[in-house]
Structure 1
Amino acid sequence: MFLALNPVAFQLGNLSVKWYGIFMATGVLIATTMAIIEGKKRQIMSDDFIDLLLWAVPIGFIGARTYYVVFEWGYFSQHPDQIIAIWNGGIAIYGGLLAGLAVLLIFCRNRMLPPLLMLDIITPGVLAAQILGRWGNFMNQEAHGAQTSLAFLQSLHLPEFIIKQMNIGGHYYQPTFLYESFFNLIGLILILALRHKKNFFKRGEVFASYIIWYSMVRFFVEGMRTDSLYIFNVIRVSQALSLVLFVAAIIFVIYRRKQGNVAWYLDGSGLKFPYER
């Protein structure tokens, strides 16, 4: 009889350290490291990314939980004690991204940093963290798609441990976590391969490319999931938001391209480095 992989990595007394948290923490570390390395090339100090991290991560989690609670208010209005019970699950990545974006804009305003350049620098790392974070869903056997067959999963030539983990309650399910993680990895490789090509990205277009790619992937993967949040029980929230973000990012790129005085991404920050606070 198959036993699912344990979502708990290890115990510290009464504290259970879960793989989901380890993947999330590792993703944050990778994203920060990538931003610091790239930031030095664009004349942005490493302290700025570390300080941003200290604000963006906790507020991002609050945003992710708030987003989830709002669209599941029918349940939480009847169980208000569960609103802060994040350890029982229930966060939405779009909520975290929107909250993180708000923090970054305020942070850049206070530090007098170019916000679009900061977004260009950090978003590849954010995408890398998302790719890794989906494997936390895998360990928890969540964020999966509809019921499928063993034969179908085997036809995808998946490793045996993935196929076995998709056996939930005696039935096999679509590994939508894997689809999103895989196609986002392709997007990350493309962005990293292209962002240092001379006169390829205008400032803000690395970020826009991330939005275009991720929203496209999420739109199609969300349509396969069985745990979507809905508007009026009809429209999948993440699909609607993905469509809005996709169109907005395309319009942004067209608008920037029509402006003749927009800096290229490789032009740097325009700040003296190191610069005074």
Structure 2
Amino acid sequence: MLPVLALNPIALKLGPFQIRWYGIFIASAVLIAVYLATKESKRKGINEDHLYDLILWAIPIAIVCARIYYVIFQWQYYAKNPAEIIAIWDGGIAIYGALLGGGIFMYYFCKKHQLNLWTIFDIAAPTVIMAQGIGRWGNFMNQEAFGSTTTLAFLQKLHLPDFITQQMFIQGMYRQPTFLYESLWDFTGFILLMIMRHCNHLFKQGEVFIAYLMWYSFGRFFVEGMRTDSLMLGPLRISQVLSIGLFLIGLGLLIYRRKNNPDLDWYDN
């Protein structure tokens, strides 16, 4: 049997201050996403000043909304521990909260500055799913977003590196590495979107984003069903409900726009 040695979630201590791996992964994901979005925006002729203004506001708004979303569905705990509401460095942000909050702000910003909303969404979509894939490794370091109990033998059959297997020993039992399943799904989606959005006459304007919405929500539905720390509303897993809704919205948009707007520009024109 492997010696069970959990990784330290704290990367660096500077006096009373701590830098956690969770924060490093989130920050790295944001920086890479911004870099990729900036490159594609220039190629698509988006005004640089508008892009940086959008990023400057959208990222903190998305993070705050992700935290608010999480706190709302864990209010029974945070009502008794209000000082921990701002302790985002310990984990506890919900990607669907970030998507909803960030998406609403992007809609407002694009309307205000007369930018094409669908183009902005198309530019952002692959970078967002890439950032989600990186962010799951922050959950890994915090030993959260894990699945149901399993056995060491099962994890070894997956041919995982030892450091992942050992980190999946949580609360006295081995757990399904659901963080890894979702991360791999996200990275696969990122690679596919980055390749496919530049294929001639494949995606029309807005469809890169719609493809992201459908890809992510489809995978998240199944991964969420394996997790033991889901945010709940009564007997329902909130993320599964949202996944079904967003997948159907994406499918409906795809069919409606193709049928009623046959003259939409192709993304890679």
TM-score by length of 1: 0.92
1:42 to partner: Cα distance = 0.9
The residue that corresponds to 1:236 in the other structure is 237
Cα distance in 2 for partners of 1:103, 1:260 equals 28
The residue that corresponds to 2:202 in the other structure is 200
The residue that corresponds to 1:69 in the other structure is 71
Cα distance in 2 for partners of 1:216, 1:210 equals 10
In structure 2, list runs of 5 or more residues that go unmatched.
Answer: none
Q: How many residues align?
A: 266
Identity of aligned residues (%): 53
Cα distance in 1 for partners of 2:80, 2:10 equals 29
1:122 to partner: Cα distance = 1.0
In structure 1, the residue corresponding to 2:268 is in which secondary structure?
Answer: helix
Cα distance in 2 for partners of 1:168, 1:75 equals 21
Cα distance in 1 for partners of 2:7, 2:84 equals 27
One-letter code of the match for 1:193? Answer: I
User: What does residue range 218-229 of structure 1 map to in structure 2 within 5 Å?
Assistant: 218-229=220-231
Match 1:6 to one of 8, 11, 18: 8
Would you say 1:162 and 2:170 are equivalent positions?
A: no
Would you say 1:107 and 2:116 are equivalent positions?
A: no
> Are the equivalent residues in 1 in contact too, given 2:221–2:239 (CA < 8 A)?
yes
The residue that corresponds to 1:29 in the other structure is 31
Cα distance in 1 for partners of 2:24, 2:171 equals 25
Would you say 1:141 and 2:137 are equivalent positions?
A: no
Cα distance in 1 for partners of 2:122, 2:112 equals 18
> Are the equivalent residues in 2 in contact too, given 1:32–1:50 (CA < 8 A)?
no
Point out the more displaced range, 10-19 or 174-183. Answer: 10-19
One-letter code of the match for 2:233? Answer: I
> Are the equivalent residues in 1 in contact too, given 2:217–2:243 (CA < 8 A)?
yes
The residue that corresponds to 1:271 in the other structure is none
1:193 to partner: Cα distance = 1.3
One-letter code of the match for 1:119? Answer: F
The residue that corresponds to 2:254 in the other structure is 253
1:80 to partner: Cα distance = 3.6
> Are the equivalent residues in 2 in contact too, given 1:202–1:262 (CA < 8 A)?
yes
Cα distance in 2 for partners of 1:81, 1:71 equals 17
Would you say 1:94 and 2:64 are equivalent positions?
A: no
1:207 to partner: Cα distance = 0.2
TM-score by length of 2: 0.95
